[in-house]
Structure 1
Amino acid sequence: MTGGLYRSSNAGHRDGPYDDRHAPPLIDADEARLTVPDTDTVSGGGEVPGAEPPTSTAGNSLIMAAGSLVSRGTGFLRTMVLTAALGVTIGDAYTTAQIFPGLIYDFLLGGILSSVLLPLLVRRRKADADGGQAFTQTLLSLVVIALALATVVAVLCAPLLTMLYASEQASDDYHELVTRLSYLMLPMIFFTGVSALFSAVLNTRGHFAAPMWTPILNNIIVIATGGAYLLLYGAAKIDPSQMTPGRIALIGGGTLLGVAIQAAGLIPALRKVGFRWKWRFNFRDLGLRDLAKLGAWMFFYVVANQIGLAVVFNLLNRAAAAGETGPMIYNNVYLLLMMAHGIIAVSIITALMPRMSAAAADGRFTDIAEDLSRGMRTATAALAPVAVVYGVLAAPIAVVLFQYGAFTGDDALATSIVLISAGIALIPFSVSQLFTFANYAMSENKTAALINAPVVVIRIAIHVGCFVLLEPEWVAAGLMIGNAASYLMSAVISATVLRRRIGAIGMRDVAATFLKVTVAAAGSILVGVLVMKLLPGDDTPSRIEAFLGLVVGGIAIGGTYVGLALALRIREVTQLLDMVKRRIKR
């Protein structure tokens, strides 16, 4: 995690901030080219050892891009339905309980899976006479046992988790609701881990479709759960004391069912690629000591982030206890931030990661520096108008996307305040992620972990300061600003460390682009604010007014930004426009 709360519903295939996120070197499959384990992207070329792609890389990429798009769409619909069904107070409890399985999964497997286990599965697939079948069966046996034991322990410790992440200022009914939901949702640990391992096995065998599409089953189940809740109980705003066992069983059990079906949906694909389950208990053959050494720094990275996450949740629940913005609204806004990052910045990282990895392997540090400079310039130029839209059109966005059912106009207004802060955090987050993955490209997991530790300390200090100094209604927005500051600090520290390793990274060109982008963004802000002043509606527009403002304001902001970017000759914008034109012609 990187200071946010959002947990993707796509177990084993996380969206973006995360992550957040902390799972190198596998990058989110949002666009055409991926790093491990896709083909033609390892060491600058050649197929992943042991992979048996059934179709071309372009074909795999198309399947993954389509799956990612549908997954993001259904995932966002899932969020909208749950928001409408639960409202803020119950939604805060649900969001708090839902984070528990993810954080424990991250401790056990999350970052270590893609940074250690996935590359190891690829190597054993190539080196072993049986194509890594026995090794994979042994690894799965160990992980399944570990996940089962961890799930049992976590369920028993549900009240302790509630005490840690929910504010003591919250009511006893709120604490009880979080705990009861946790009993139903903590078993997600097991199914999330199994799903992630199954996906890794499929990827190493050249099968990419099922891991991309099964998360959609998860989203559909939860959407149906939210719909059933609305049908049976309506969209009334209720207190935690009014959550009957039936309501809790439906919403908590439906969420668990979605993850279980996602994991089960991968079994036919495993059979298709020739993998068969068999219990093997010769765990010494796994080289556990070496695995522990390889995963130690990633575990340190995860632990630091989870400490920061615990602080964020506790502060948000304290604010919610005072009747102000809590975990659910903050999490919904963080989802919007991650969507923009995933669609734009991850695409850039995806394109640059194989190049930087190959350059690092060859000792071509100048090429890494050039790619970093190019990535920063392109990400900033592409994300700036999105940040402006989030800031200027925050109120219409909140109303159009979330103001349904038990989610009121006041809740939408609170969402818009946090969304403005998310607009500020968007570019620093994406740039910091680019630097983090540059470290991963050079196999500098230790460096990434050591940079992350002081950044988390700074983030916690800012978060606590915001909570102490700000009025409760501004706390959630302040926490998002604290995230932005920590992302910026992470980028500065990473740039300083990398400069010593690879030399100058073209900061003069980056600064020049940043300045031009700032001018173009400022102009689009002025036009956007003027247009919104002329249109009907205020901070709490009706749905029709909000939709009108979103369409007209978005066109005005986007058109102004592109026009100014062309006038200022921002090369990255010109290149992006040319690329879009070429794809349209195709």
Structure 2
Amino acid sequence: MNGGLYRSTHAAPDGQPPRQDGVTVISVDGPPQESPAEPGGSTAGQSAIMAVGSLVSRVIGFVRNALIGMVLGEAVGDAYTGAQFLPGQIYELLLGGILSSVLIPLLVRRRKADPDGGQEFTQRLLSFAVVMLGVATALVVLAAPLITAIQTSSDTTSPAFRDLVTAFAYLILPIIFFTGLSALIAAVLNVRGHFAAPMWAPILNNVVVIAVCGVFLLVFGTDKELTPENITAGEIALIGLGTLLGMVVQALGLLPALRKVGFRWAWRWNPRALGLGEIGSLAGWMLCYVGANQIAVFALVRALNGSEGEDNPGALAFNNVFLLMMMAHGIIGVSVMTALLPKMSAAAADGRLHEVSEDLTRGIKLVSAALAPIVVVYAVLSGPIAVFLFQGGRITNSDALAMGTVLTVAAFAVLPLSISFLCTNAFYALQGNKTAALINLPVVAIRITGYFVLAAILNESLIAAGMTAANGISYLVSALISLAVLRRRIGRLNLGSVVTALLKVAVAAGVAAGLAYLVVRLLPGSGAPDGRVEAILQLAVGGAVIMVAYLGTALLLRVQEVSQVVGMVRRKIGR
């Protein structure tokens, strides 16, 4: 699915040795057992596997998003994006947060404890979850008009806009069921050490939607300026049903991988045997956590819809930039945490809290070192990135440059987001769902306050940038509070070494940013390209300067994580 805010991680590898049935499973202490151990530990190696698939998928996803913008334009694109937020919000309330915080650790424990490796328990869990997802999805689709009424304000949006959001919602909301199904299958695969299919399956989704956009252009063209008032039922149906079809194909594309890991999907209806009391006690606090986040999302979308109008970047622009931010976070932060979570969960279960602390510290350092050059690229090259990715069709150069302004702000939210994410998952490993939920309440309050305050004081053309800034501030607050609480719960976090590493990374990033800024200002367009040719030139030259300057400075400062990655690349090239 594309465009959802605050998506949960719903996959994590198991820490089991090779099973007797011949299925090879990745161990948290090393790569697959048939392969020699890679120097540098398993976290970087496992993260790299997932990062490659995530990168390819997300790059294709940007092609999809760019085409949607070109096909629909700003006004209709905002309505489509507003409707697309809804399945993600409802999915998170139903399953997303519970899956990563409750079910993944539970599946890991049952895989260790049960004689059949958790096969029967997983079958019962899937049977129960599929039924509940189906019922919930049907109810949500019926309530589509009510949900969209909450998300849009009659004072700031036109009746035609609200009707269009509702029409898209009817077609897109069934995605909830297939998103949940895809997430459950991905969890089963990752718990059994299979990472490839879950990371590559979204490509199927994106290819389907790209094909639908191509059909739309062939059938309807781009001559007419689309507005909520003149878009036809056929145009709505093609884009809406095409979006739903993409998610259906993604879910079905994961089924063959289940047999590959030795899991057979048999229907077992026995909810009592699932221990729903244990799941419910843990999930209750997770629902509090996720519910607070979704209130924030409704507030966000209402604020963005309030900026509806010509030349004002709204939901479509915000979502495009948010996906860029989540690409960096997903490739680095999610991949690192997906590799660390089972190991941290096992250490927490055995009372080895010092290992949880060491893994969290290692994750923060690795994520910071890896994300720093991406932050610089987003901050310095935001204009050419937006023009290259999004200009075309019904998206003008000024529209794209406005998205670039939002991306500049988003650059400073990427690292706080990933560190906050690492800390939250550390609480999940400790089964501290209540603590995570309680921390999240003031964080969400700060986020929503930021939305309303910035929406009130900023010009409409800066609303999307202001909402992004509010998100970034809330991520930073979340990370600081979480680290303080974790230090009291699991002991010393070796924050001194973390601060030292962050300072070195900041110096390397600052050098790279300064040099790239000066070089790009000397190129045609001076950072605000008037087309893709100038954008490509600025991206090529500026990107090269950033990478060379960052890597060179980081190696001179002996940033350990950068040295490890460079060493790993050299070894692979040597082979």
* CA apart distance, 1:474: 1.2
Tell me if the contact between 1:365 and 1:502 (Cα under 8 Å) persists in the aligned partners.
yes
The 1:249/1:59 distance shift into structure 2, 3 A limit, reads farther
Task: Please give the alpha-carbon distance, in whole angstroms, between the structure 2 residues aligned to 1:438 and 1:51.
Answer: 32
Q: 2:493 aligns with which of 485, 505, 512?
A: 505
Q: 1:440 aligns with which of 421, 428, 450?
A: 428
Map 1:417-496 to 2 at 5 A: 417-496=405-484
Task: Please give the alpha-carbon distance, in whole angstroms, between the structure 1 residues aligned to 2:181 and 2:359.
Answer: 36
Whether 1:216 and 2:203 are equivalent positions in the alignment is: yes
- Structure 1 equivalent of residue 80 of structure 2: 94
Residue-by-residue CA offset, 1:422-443 (whole Å, 9 max, x unaligned) = 1111111111112222222222
- Structure 1 equivalent of residue 99 of structure 2: 113
Tell me if the contact between 1:22 and 1:301 (Cα under 8 Å) persists in the aligned partners.
no
Moved more, 75-84 or 350-359: 350-359
- Structure 1 equivalent of residue 561 of structure 2: 572
* CA apart distance, 1:270: 4.7
- Structure 2 equivalent of residue 177 of structure 1: 164
Task: Please give the alpha-carbon distance, in whole angstroms, between the structure 2 residues aligned to 1:286 and 1:439.
Answer: 23
Task: Please give the alpha-carbon distance, in whole angstroms, between the structure 2 residues aligned to 1:575 and 1:533.
Answer: 33
Aligned residue type for 1:467: A
Moved more, 58-67 or 353-362: 58-67
- Structure 1 equivalent of residue 37 of structure 2: none
- Structure 2 equivalent of residue 553 of structure 1: 542
Task: Please give the alpha-carbon distance, in whole angstroms, between the structure 2 residues aligned to 1:471 and 1:50.
Answer: 64
Unmatched tracts of structure 2, length 5 or more:
34-45
The 1:201/1:531 distance shift into structure 2, 3 A limit, reads closer
- Structure 1 equivalent of residue 38 of structure 2: none
Q: 2:59 aligns with which of 61, 65, 73?
A: 73
Give the alignment's TM-score, normalised by structure 1.
Answer: 0.87
Q: Secondary structure at the match of 2:366?
A: helix
Aligned residue type for 2:424: T
* CA apart distance, 1:348: 3.4
- Structure 2 equivalent of residue 529 of structure 1: 517
Task: Please give the alpha-carbon distance, in whole angstroms, between the structure 2 residues aligned to 1:389 and 1:400.
Answer: 14
Task: Please give the alpha-carbon distance, in whole angstroms, between the structure 2 residues aligned to 1:502 and 1:126.
Answer: 24
* CA apart distance, 1:160: 1.2
Task: Please give the alpha-carbon distance, in whole angstroms, between the structure 2 residues aligned to 1:406 and 1:376.
Answer: 41
* CA apart distance, 1:118: 4.1
Q: 2:404 aligns with which of 391, 404, 416?
A: 416
Moved more, 205-214 or 158-167: 205-214
Whether 1:235 and 2:222 are equivalent positions in the alignment is: yes
The 1:514/1:94 distance shift into structure 2, 3 A limit, reads same
Task: Please give the alpha-carbon distance, in whole angstroms, between the structure 2 residues aligned to 1:517 and 1:524.
Answer: 11
Residue-by-residue CA offset, 1:422-480 (whole Å, 9 max, x unaligned) = 11111111111122222222222222121111111111111211111111111111111
Residue-by-residue CA offset, 1:276-314 (whole Å, 9 max, x unaligned) = 543x54433333333211211211111111111111111
Aligned residue type for 1:417: T
Moved more, 247-256 or 376-385: 376-385
Q: How many residues align?
A: 555
* CA apart distance, 1:158: 1.0
* CA apart distance, 1:135: 4.6
Task: Please give the alpha-carbon distance, in whole angstroms, between the structure 2 residues aligned to 1:147 and 1:361.
Answer: 30
Aligned residue type for 1:298: M
Map 1:284-363 to 2 at 5 A: 284-321=272-309, 324-363=312-351
RMSD across aligned C-alpha pairs, in angstroms? 2.8
* CA apart distance, 1:215: 2.7
The 1:146/1:440 distance shift into structure 2, 3 A limit, reads closer
The 1:84/1:133 distance shift into structure 2, 3 A limit, reads same
Residue-by-residue CA offset, 1:396-430 (whole Å, 9 max, x unaligned) = 11111111211111111111000001111111111
- Structure 2 equivalent of residue 31 of structure 1: none
Residue-by-residue CA offset, 1:162-184 (whole Å, 9 max, x unaligned) = 11112321111111111111111
The 1:177/1:293 distance shift into structure 2, 3 A limit, reads same
Tell me if the contact between 2:105 and 2:342 (Cα under 8 Å) persists in the aligned partners.
no
Moved more, 109-118 or 410-419: 109-118
Aligned residue type for 2:554: A
